């Protein structure tokens, strides 16, 4: 299957950016995280999404992370670069550079901080899309970004050929059915919030952009594969086992929690850049207990596959 045909299908973890002790980017460790996820069977990677701490990186660092990702796993799975900038001009420059660096697609967010009108949101998305030939997935996450990619916006952008998908992170799963009913196959829908991913996939999402997959990739891949194969009971069992951790994806400290989970599972470091700080106290103990419980009760995937 070509990269183009594989886009927007299966499990796409939002890969973390790894830092050294001095909080400079550890590019080797970042590549190891990416390679390990691909080796464990994920279908694509989101580079420099929320979990990649996009807005905590300098412009040149972002480009270097993308180049390192292409070097490490380019050609093996689709690589989707998060576009999360404060102005439209910066987003355009970044999108053009990402294309030159060899990523396969873009995940485009509203401009950061400023809450736009509908017309401004449409203009931002259109301007970035017109600056690149890469396929684009819009990112809808009203709780996090205070902006809803509403139906008027999706209507207005139907004539933009490379805006082809939407990552749906609204917590109300009725939105997925409404998008599909209104737009049919014009936009591919990806489930974007971990603790409603099962519901989203059942309702027609073609894949899952995931946070906690970074800590438990094999189980995440099996969950989606089981749904694809019609093994609903198996997928539901994995989902219920996973749910205490999946709830973390909907919290403000999701990045710290996911990176701590990665560290506990021997897959990365919990280091984050300020203003984020590593979890401490009761919250750290709580997340650690959940991760350790999941690790101790992991589903027997080999038996499930053979069944």
d(CA 284, CA 197): 25
The whole-angstrom separation of Cα 291 and Cα 297 is 10
Rounded distance, CA 71 to CA 35, Å? 10
Sort residue 121 into left (φ over 0), alpha (ψ -120 to 50) or beta: alpha
Q: Cis ω on the peptide bond leading into residue 189 (within 30° of 0)?
A: no
Task: Kindly name the residue from 9, 62, 167, 259 that is annotated as catalytic.
Answer: 167
Please spell the DSSP secondary structure of the chain, one letter per residue. --HHHHTT-EEEEBPPPPB-TTSSB-HHHHHHHHHHHHHTT-S-EEESSTTTTGGGS-HHHHHHHHHHHHHHHBTTB-EEEEE--SSHHHHHHHHHHHHHHT-SEEEEPPPSS----HHHHHHHHHHHHHT--S-EEEEE-HHHHS----HHHHHHTTT-TTEEEEEE--S-THHHHHHHHHHTTSSEEEE--GGGHHHHHHTT-SEEEESGGGT-HHHHHHHHHHHHTT-HHHHHHHHHHHHHHHGGGGSTTHHHHHHHHHHHTTS------TT-----HHHHHHHHHHHHHHHHT---HHHHHH-
Residues 141 and 133: their CA atoms lie apart, in Å, by 24
Active site residue 9: no
Instruction: Give the active site residue among 12, 27, 94, 139.
Output: 139
139 is catalytic: yes
Which residues participate in catalysis according to the annotation? 139, 167
């Amino acid at each position: 299957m070509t990269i183009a045909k594989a886009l927007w299908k299966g499990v796409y973890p939002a890969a973390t950016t790894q830092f050294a002790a001095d909080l400079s980017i550890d590019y080797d460790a970042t590549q190891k995280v990416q390679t390990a996820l691909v080796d464990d069977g994920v279908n694509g990677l989101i580079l420099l999404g929320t979990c990649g701490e996009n807005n905590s990186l300098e412009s040149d660092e972002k480009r270097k992370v993308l180049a390192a990702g292409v070097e490490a796993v380019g050609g093996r799975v689709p690589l989707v670069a998060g576009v999360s900038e404060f102005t439209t001009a910066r987003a355009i420059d970044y999108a053009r550079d990402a294309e030159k660096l060899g990523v396969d697609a873009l995940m485009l967010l509203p401009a950061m901080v400023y809450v736009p009108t509908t017309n401004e949101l449409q203009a931002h998305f259109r301007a970035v899309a017109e600056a690149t030939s890469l396929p684009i997935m819009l990112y809808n996450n009203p709780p996090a970004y205070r902006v809803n990619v509403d139906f008027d916006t999706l209507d207005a952008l139907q004539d933009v050929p490379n805006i082809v998908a939407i990552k749906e992170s609204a917590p109300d799963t009725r939105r997925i059915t409404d998008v599909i009913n209104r737009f049919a196959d014009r936009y591919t829908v990806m489930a974007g919030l971990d603790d409603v991913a099962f519901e989203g996939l059942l309702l027609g999402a073609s894949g899952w952009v995931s946070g906690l997959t970074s800590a438990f990739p094999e189980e995440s891949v099996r969950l989606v594969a089981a749904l694809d194969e019609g093994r609903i009971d198996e997928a539901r069992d994995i989902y219920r086992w996973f749910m205490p951790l999946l709830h973390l994806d909907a919290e403000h400290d999701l990045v710290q929690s996911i990176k701590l989970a990665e560290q506990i599972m021997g897959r990365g470091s919990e280091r984050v850049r300020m203003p984020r700080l590593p979890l401490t106290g009761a919250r750290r103990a709580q997340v650690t207990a959940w991760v350790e419980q999941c690790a101790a009760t992991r589903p027997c995937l080999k038996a499930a596959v053979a069944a």
